[in-house]
Amino acid sequence: MSTSTKKCEEHSKNAVAKAIICMCRCCFWCLESFLKFISSNAYIMMAIHGKNFFSSASDAFKLLSSNIIRVVVIDQVADFLLFLGKVVVTAFMGLLSYYVFSNRIGFIDAPSVNYYWVPILVICTSTYFIAASFFNVYDMAVDTIFLCFLEDSEINDGSSDRPYYMSSELREILHKKRPDSAKSEN
């Protein structure tokens, strides 16, 4: 929190001023989240097409807004799975460190500590942040693959003239059928 915000809060006993500050914080947080989302997708589109940042951001926004339901579903599923991965890694390291510090693993000589929950807590906290850093790479990879899928779906129609470049497994997962296979099913 900046010093000017602290001064404003300290000197202001007015409930209206506090409410306005709270609303401004909320609006700026929403704006920051939106800009981070658009920026990361703009960088992906820049890598795909080689255009400048603003046209890539515009293309990414148009592509994502035309497929908003897919975006929400994929984003929520990916976020849940990545969070689950972070929790599993953290829990594993917490359990391992518990067994080490409580001397339940015979071949490891752990230092004797009176309160072994303190180093376990430090290990779990640092493990979560390290796992979050690694899983952010996977999150960016999921976003990149998803944007490539959307771009492939927009440009190509699956016909022999314009075939999809995505794999058949990805097409099955995201339920994108070829036009000739949809006709043969009917």
- Residue 70: CB atoms within 10 Å: 16
- Residue 145: CB atoms within 10 Å: 14
The pLDDT, as a whole number, for residue 185 is 44
The pLDDT, as a whole number, for residue 161 is 83
Q: Structure tokens of 87?
A: 């929790």
pLDDT at 162 over 60: yes
**Mean pLDDT value across residues 137-162:** 86
Among the ranges given (26-30, 62-66, 135-139, 155-159), the one the predictor scored with the smallest mean pLDDT = 155-159
Interval 105-122: pLDDT, tens: 777 777 777 787 888 899
115 three-class SS = coil
Query: Are 15 and 114 a contacting pair, CB within 8 Å?
Result: no
The pLDDT, as a whole number, for residue 10 is 60
pLDDT at 87 over 70: yes
pTM across the whole model: 0.71
